[in-house]
């Protein structure tokens, strides 16, 4: 029996996929507290739980999130949350790229 998904699940996935470079893989059928989707963007992977505007995590989700030792699970409720997530990942990507460029330049200068 498939796990029930929140009403906004399809809209959130569609909004994520509308961003260039974003990939989304649904995990919703796994149940047992596992987050709904896996989002990829520029080398980053984020697990996301999709909830309605007033939706709350159930006990299995709370337990799974607490036990997870990767990056924290992001709860997404709206398309505004989608924009925040991708903009945050983009900032992370740009910062990492700047650090890499600086390290390579320093290494080059040391030759």
pLDDT tens over the chain, length 111 residues: 346 777 889 999 999 999 999 999 999 999 899 999 999 999 889 999 999 989 999 999 999 999 999 989 999 999 999 999 999 999 988 887 777 777 877 767 665
Tell me, what's the pLDDT at 110?
64
The two three-digit tokens of residue 93, written as one number? 């990507």
Structural contact between residues 53 and 77, judged by C-beta atoms closer than 8 angstroms: yes
Domain ranges (residues) in the chain: 9-109
Contact present, 19 and 46 (Cβ < 8 Å) = no
The predicted pLDDT at position 20 comes to 96
> Edge-to-edge strands of the sheet including 22-26?
22-26, 37-41, 44-50, 74-76
Q: Which two tokens stand for residue 4?
A: 């029930």
- 9-109: which CATH number, 3.40.1160.10, 3.40.640.10, 3.40.1350.10, 3.40.50.720? 3.40.1350.10
Helix (H) or strand (E) holding 45: strand 44-50
């Amino acid at each position: 029996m498939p796990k029930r998904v929140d009403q906004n699940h399809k809209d959130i996935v569609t909004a994520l996929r509308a961003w260039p470079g974003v990939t989304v893989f649904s995990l919703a059928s796994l149940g047992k507290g596992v987050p709904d989707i896996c989002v990829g963007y520029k080398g980053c992977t984020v697990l996301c739980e999709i909830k309605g505007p007033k939706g709350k995590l159930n006990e299995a989700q709370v337990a799974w999130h607490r036990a997870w030792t990767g990056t924290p699970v992001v709860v997404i409720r709206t398309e505004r949350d989608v924009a925040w997530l991708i903009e945050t990942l983009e900032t992370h990507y740009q910062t990492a790229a700047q650090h890499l460029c600086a390290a390579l330049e320093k290494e080059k200068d040391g030759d």
